[in-house]
């Protein structure tokens, strides 16, 4: 909760991103409306909001999956929304992603070791003979038994699969990991262990997380910065530990919608 001195160290800045989609009836849907967010280095930035608020559209823009209508995303002095395909590929070494449902994100015919090391192999960083050893090392980092290298995704639980997804995202030693609802499909106790793992990895490696989530109680526990979005617009940006004190009416609505146990 301390370390306030490095929070100004900005790794990526999302500047005035607007994304419009043309609908079949000729109308235009503005999914992201003039979004400006600074992503602090080595910290967790959570983006929260209801379904349809534009969270995923924003992430797809950052990942270069589609081009913004206007605005830019600056990362290491470069606008990463305007990269050529070749540059984009190189950029993925620095930005990796973890998806909501690892069961559908993995090729079911590949073994865990090949899944984890695929990014390393496709960048030609390691040889085929090194795959098993490197996979074991990455499995250790995500607290999975090394014997898992020869398993297939279907023979693991949801939490174990998500750990494999994290191991794969770690393989290239990226600076940024984007987690799109990475724990929403998991049970609470498993969710808790995954969050602890992410926090541990951040402390060890200084990874920057962009964490898309709709569970405010969850993000209030581990994010340094929270961005609240509604209908494509940023409603509020605040420190993670100040979330409960927010006075913004929309943030309050979201907070009040959380059912507490007691």
Partner 1 sequence: MLLEINDLDITYGDNTPTVENVKLSLNEGEILTIVGESGSGKTTVIRSILGLLSGDGHVSKGTLNFKGRDLKALSLKEWRELRGKDISMIFQDSGNMLNPVQTIGHQFREYIQLHSDMSDSEADAKAVEILKRMHLPNAENILSSYAFELSGGMRQRVGIAMAITFHPQLLLADEPTSALDVTTQAQIVKELMQVVKESGTAMIMVTHNLGVASYMSDKLMVMAGGRVLEYGNAKDILTNPQSDYTKTLLASVPTIGGKRYV
- CB closer to partner 1, 74 vs 103: 103
Tokens of 260: 């507490």
- CB closer to partner 1, 171 vs 194: 194
How near is the Cβ of 50 to partner 1 at its closest, in Å? 5
Q: Does 224 bind partner 1 (CB under 8 A)?
A: yes
Q: Does 29 bind partner 1 (CB under 8 A)?
A: no
Q: Which stretch binds partner 1 (CB under 8 A): 44-52, 60-68, 87-95, 162-170?
A: 44-52
CA distance 81 to 157: 36
From residue 233 to residue 252, what is the string marking binding to partner 1 with x (rule CB under 8 A)?
-------xx-xx--------
Pairing of strands 95-98, 78-79: unpaired
Q: Does 31 bind partner 1 (CB under 8 A)?
A: no
Q: Does 23 bind partner 1 (CB under 8 A)?
A: no
Q: Does 51 bind partner 1 (CB under 8 A)?
A: yes
Tokens of 63: 């990942």
How near is the Cβ of 212 to partner 1 at its closest, in Å? 12
Task: Indicate the angle between helix axes 158-170 and 188-205, nearest 10 degrees.
Answer: 20
Q: Does 191 bind partner 1 (CB under 8 A)?
A: yes
CB atoms within 10 A of CB 29: 13
Size of the site for partner 1 (CB under 8 A): 41
Q: Does 160 bind partner 1 (CB under 8 A)?
A: no
CA distance 99 to 97: 6
CA distance 68 to 81: 7
- Interface residue with partner 1 among 26, 86, 188, 249 (CB under 8 A) is 188
3-state secondary structure at position 21: strand
Q: Does 50 bind partner 1 (CB under 8 A)?
A: yes
Q: Does 194 bind partner 1 (CB under 8 A)?
A: no
Q: Does 1 bind partner 1 (CB under 8 A)?
A: yes
Pairing of strands 176-180, 95-98: parallel
CB atoms within 10 A of CB 64: 19
Q: Does 261 bind partner 1 (CB under 8 A)?
A: yes
Q: Which stretch binds partner 1 (CB under 8 A): 32-40, 60-68, 114-122, 181-189?
A: 181-189
CB-neighbour burial class of residue 188 (10 A; exposed 0-12, middle 13-18, buried 19+): exposed
CA angle in degrees (0–180, nearest 5) for 54-198-116: 90
| H or E element, residue 205 | helix 188-205
Q: Which residues bind partner 1 (CB under 8 A)?
A: 1, 44, 50-52, 157-158, 187-192, 195-196, 199, 202, 214-218, 220-224, 240-241, 243-244, 253-262
């Amino acid at each position: 909760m301390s370390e306030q001195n490095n929070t100004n160290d900005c790794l990526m800045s999302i500047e005035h991103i607007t994304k419009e989609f043309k609908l079949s009836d000729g109308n235009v849907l503005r999914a992201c409306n003039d979004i400006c967010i600074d992503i602090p280095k080595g910290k967790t930035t959570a983006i929260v909001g209801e379904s349809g608020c534009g969270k995923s559209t924003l992430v797809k823009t950052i990942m270069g999956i589609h081009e913004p209508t206007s605005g830019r995303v600056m990362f290491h002095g470069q606008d990463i929304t305007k990269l050529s395909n070749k540059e984009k590929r190189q950029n993925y070494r620095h930005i990796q992603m973890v998806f909501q449902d690892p069961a559908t994100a993995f090729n079911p015919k590949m073994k865990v070791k090949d899944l984890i090391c695929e990014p390393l192999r496709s960048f030609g960083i390691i040889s085929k003979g090194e795959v098993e050893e490197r996979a074991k090392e990455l499995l250790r980092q995500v607290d999975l038994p090394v014997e898992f290298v020869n398993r297939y995704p279907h023979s693991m639980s949801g939490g174990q699969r998500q750990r494999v997804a994290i191991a794969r995202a770690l393989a290239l030693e990226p600076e940024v990991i984007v987690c799109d609802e990475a724990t929403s499909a998991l049970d609470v106790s498993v969710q808790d262990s995954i969050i602890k793992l992410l926090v541990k990895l951040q402390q060890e490696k200084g990874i920057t997380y962009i964490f898309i989530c709709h569970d405010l109680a969850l993000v209030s526990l581990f994010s340094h910065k929270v961005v609240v979005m509604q209908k494509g617009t940023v409603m509020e940006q605040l420190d993670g530990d100040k979330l409960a004190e927010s006075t913004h009416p929309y943030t309050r609505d979201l907070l009040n919608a959380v059912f507490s146990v007691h």
